[in-house]
Chain A
Amino acid sequence: MTRLTTEALIIDIPGRASGVPLNLAIEPGQVWGVLGPNGVGKTTLLHTLAGLREPRSGQLLLDGTPLRDMRRKIVSQRMGLVFQDRQDGFPATALETALIGRHPWLSPWQMESGEDLAIAERALEALDVIHLKDRLVNTLSGGERQRVAIATLMTQSPEIWLLDEPTNHLDLQHQTAVMKLLRQQAACDRAVFMCLHDLNLAARWCDQILLLYPDGQACWGPARDMLVTSALESLFGQRLLSAELDGFPVFVPG
């Protein structure tokens, strides 16, 4: 069980004022959704949390240890990230792609074992892409590639899952399947932290919400408290109508 906390964290977006420092505590079992208009720094925040970017100030603690003092290999055993953009310069099959998730767990001289292979295949199966395992990734559709990327994270099996727009390119059925899978992971005491652009997905699946405003303001807390029509209207600069369906709030542009 691992928790990621941020202390007075200010992400570094060149040319923008620092705004409100973030003091987040991402606990096992939680599913976080980050909402905010385009360009507000959702991806930058995610990369900063993963330790791939230096923050402007403040620090990150993984179970109380400052992230920058930890070896990257140890960090990547505990925390993984699905990127929004992927590079497919060289041809690789879906199985090979998922299998790179085992990298943090193997020593330099170790080859992938049958067990590693089984882990990768289970992940592909969970994401419903096992039938594509021998296909080259660059021949797959956007949604299929997205699922292979999530399967890679699942193969990595860290305790903190960071995901940048995990439902991009996914059809409705797979959106739901992926969200269910993420909730299951949270139920196994993992923490999930994802950027979303779909309010209703956040409302349906997340229990914690972080709202990022273009002027650097931010607020966060339980979903019930954050998903208030007026707050969301000012966040997106868009009038919204809301209703409740099956116990979950639903928002549509007004």
Chain B
Amino acid sequence: MKHPGLAALYVLSLLAPLLAQAEGHCVSDALDQSVCLAEPARRVVSLSPGATELLFSAGAGDRVVAVSAWSDYPAEAAELPQVGDSNRLDLEAIVSLAPDLVVAWVDGNSRSQLERLSGLGIPVFWLAPRTFDDIAVAVSDLAFLTGSPELGAERAEVFRAEMATLNAQYADARPVKVFYQIWDQPLMTVNRNELISKAITLCGGVNVFGDLPRLVPRISREAVLEANPEAIITAGSSDNRQWLEAWREFSGLAAVAADNLFLEPPDLLARPTLRMADGARHLCQTLEQARANL
């Protein structure tokens, strides 16, 4: 989302309690559609793991009646009935649950499939968090739609404050050139629009592939050698450790020379949710370590 839209959402979320009094519970979503509920939703279906996590963060965990596959956080979410993979949803199962709110994900769900749900009169709220603030807004919006606006506003505020603290802490830190590897074969990274890259920037790092046009570009090993990052970071389980070890072959790399090959804990940075704050804090500590090694 670009800044004007973001600003609009932000303003809307602040005004939301007032608007609700005036014309029912209305919130504008990521598709700029206004979603209005006569009263807070009690039966919510989440159509992506990220949406599930945000719903639980918004205090609506007990109102979620079904989730999409791979919704594994928090642990309670994994126990809920599933309505299919995010890009192959079981519409019949969703409809038969008689939800009063469906939370969809712009980057995962099929627009045409969900139009059938809207057509059946089921309100669909679309999420597409592209910035840290989008995450905060999403939590407060979801909390608002599910009847706990105060809790949502508070959690959003805590998240914003945490990010602001990190930003202040590392604003003047020595810049570190970072290559963030998200896949090995083929070799893939992220550009500046991806939240992971924003977290790197927040911690005073510089994403060496930030300027590439695609969100998740596929690159060559030689491009990495030429960019000569000072730290190479990936996330995941210990299996991914071997991705990092493979770089040791190239002793000329600054990251290898300084032993700056880092494995971040899995999941914290993978989804645009409140856990991003923990992920970002961990990443910032990692970059501090990288600075010390240089």
Chain A directly contacts chain B within the complex, with at least one CB pair under 8 Å: no
Residues of B within 8 A of A (CB): none
